[in-house]
A and B are shown apart, each in its own frame.
Chain A
Amino acid sequence: MTEIRYEQWEPVIGLEIHIQLNTKSKLFASSPNRFGDEPNTNISEVCTGQPGALPVLNKEAVKKAVQFGCAVGARVAHFSKFDRKSYFYPDSPRNFQITQFDQPIVVGGTITCDVGGAIKHFQINRAHLEDDAGMLKHFTNFAGVDYNRAGVPLIEVVSEPCIHTPKEAVAYAMAVKAIAEYLDISDCNMEEGSLRIDANISVRLKGEKTLRTKVEIKNMNSFHNMEMALESEIRRQCRAYTLKEEIKKGTYRFDLEKKETVLMREKEDADDYRYFPEPDLVPIVLTDAYIEEIKKSLPELPAERFKRYITELHLPEYSANQLVIDKALCNYFEESLKICPNAKSLCNWLTVEFTGRLKDSDKSLSDFSGNIARLVNLIDKGTITGRIAKDVADEMVLNPDKNPEEIVAANPDYQPMHDTSDIEPIIDQVLLENPSSIADYRAGKTKAFGFLVGQVMKLSKGKASPSVVNDLLTKKLDLSL
């Protein structure tokens, strides 16, 4: 059996990310841009391709495209125009899409992201505006077409083929998503289809200069699936080349059951889109002043926030990245910081404790308002111990509308034990039960102290104030010396 030497091969990946813009109306029609409504209730004569209809450009869509361009450090074109792209399919109301072919609104740009602990930069080739197609719903022996989505504004972000591993691809895509979310230009919901990723992938021997035949993978509807799809395709191509088989152009999708890429159709040479300038639309001419204005009014972006978290809040890189990459989580963190200044502790409670607990519940962070911050404050004040706080957190998840102070007040077991007279007997008991530890401590093994503290906490059901325990225990141990 021929052995496949995967390490000899270098994958070359390019991503095309379609981002649906969250404008109120569509790109060229004034019908509503909304997801999930009854079929064909958000349509107009323009987006159903009625004869006699004409496109008129949505200025907010242009603004959002420019915002994206500025956010990734791209060149925003002073002059850009639209083109017709011809192809026949039922979800296309006119059988041509209005897109930007040779003069897109955004050119170049860089995506910076954290890939397994290392900071990497990836180049964007271009981003352009185009209108989305409708949706085809398949039934047993017919299909239904819904044009609600037809005409929704998209920006298509095309990367250079500079991505070389599935993990890089995921990091890149997550970074693009984060930027779009921070700019509030899209809902970025992969399940609803407001963020869609297609990949072009080929492999070549390490050191090889030219690119080999690439294959397209579509319909990867989650980052996890994308990673698996890319891994599967890389293996397939490496195996094929090793066995001296040919890789043919084609479009693949990721089969969730088989957990591998499956051919959808081979590339036909008859895909001649016949691009030519759209005569019903006039060009977009942008001034330096307009572009500057947009640049100046950009909100804080993920990369800037990441820097701030490292340099000002001294968060560890991994945690900072976790926060930054998820806009909802990060905004919650920012809001919570206003209530609780302990960034590190807050970060931990958010990214570890609560994220873990919320995974299996039907609740989300937004249900908790400022309560998580208040919980951390209680710990810092010494009102409760870290141990108790975990129990309080469990209760909070069950009853999100209750604030931590209420929960603590309602349960005597959570009441912290500050009183020396309450703690002393417990310490005495522990010391009595653990003579060997006392001996270890006296012998200089400091770990024994920690063990004893742990026993005290256990016996006090976590309620004993750590600082009081420390003081008292030290006194008693030293006293008996």
Chain B
Amino acid sequence: MSKFNQEDLDRLTKLSRIACNEAEKKVLFEKLSNVLVYIEQLEQIDTTGVKECNHVLETISNVMREDIVGETLPRELFLENAPSHVGGMIRVPTVIKANH
């Protein structure tokens, strides 16, 4: 396992979209490094042939609902919490980069 470094932290903050000033970076780097050292203990455990546990309740499957229109969220209620809205839409600054 390669050692965690500043570049890794920068990549993570970019992926998570969290801006950090130098002081914040320092604190986070230290905390993360400590935690990462701790969790690396899992390396030691032999898990050959062991399946991943994606659901604790293994036997439950096919939970589905009928295709019926149910309660909607009224627009006023939705926009009440919006930091900025216009014409019934959430308002954001213009997108410079293109989308997915």
Contacts and interface: CB of A to CB of B under 8 A. Distances in A.
Interface of A: 23-25, 30-32, 38-45, 48, 50, 56-62, 81, 87-91, 133, 136-139, 141-147, 251, 264-265, 270, 272, 274, 277, 279, 281-285
B63 A141 contact: no
A324 B87 CA distance: 43
Which residue, B79, B90, B97, has most C-beta atoms of chain A within 10 A? B90
Given A137-B89, A282-B62, 9 more contacts: A30-B69, A31-B69, A40-B90, A41-B75, A89-B99, A144-B89, A146-B88, A265-B97, A274-B15
Contacts of A136: 95, 99
Interface in B59-100: 60-73, 75, 78-79, 86-95, 97-100
Contacts of A25: 67-70
Contact of A45 (B11, B17, B73, B93): B73
Interface in B18-66: 54-55, 57, 60-66
A42 B100 contact: no
Nearest to A43: B73
A97 B58 CA distance: 24
Nearest to B66: A59
Contact of A143 (B54, B69, B78, B93): B93
Contact of B65 (A40, A45, A56): A56
A155 B15 CA distance: 27
Contact of B67 (A61, A87, A146): A61
A279 B62 CA distance: 14
A143 B65 contact: no
Interface of B: 11, 14-15, 17, 54-55, 57, 60-73, 75, 78-79, 86-95, 97-100
A38 B72 contact: no
A44 B88 CA distance: 15
Given A31-B73, A43-B73, A284-B62, A90 B92 contact: yes
Contacts, number: 131
Contacts of B97: 265
Contact of A142 (B60, B79, B94): B94
B64 A59 contact: yes
Given A88-B17, A279-B54, A283-B61, A142 B66 contact: no
A332 to B, nearest CB: 28
A40 B15 contact: no
A48 B65 contact: no
Contacts of B100: 87, 89, 133
A57 B63 contact: yes
A147 B95 CA distance: 17
Contact of A282 (B60, B88, B89): B60
Nearest to A34: B69
27 contacts: A24-B68, A25-B69, A31-B73, A39-B87, A40-B79, A41-B72, A43-B73, A43-B78, A44-B71, A44-B73, A57-B64, A58-B64, A59-B66, A60-B67, A87-B100, A89-B99, A90-B92, A137-B89, A138-B95, A139-B94, A141-B94, A142-B93, A143-B95, A251-B98, A274-B15, A283-B55, A283-B61
B70 A44 contact: yes
A133 B67 CA distance: 20
Contacts of A31: 69-70, 72-73
Contacts of A88: 17
B72 to A, nearest CB: 5
Contacts of A50: 73
A264 B55 CA distance: 40
Contacts of B65: 30, 56-59
Contacts of A42: 72
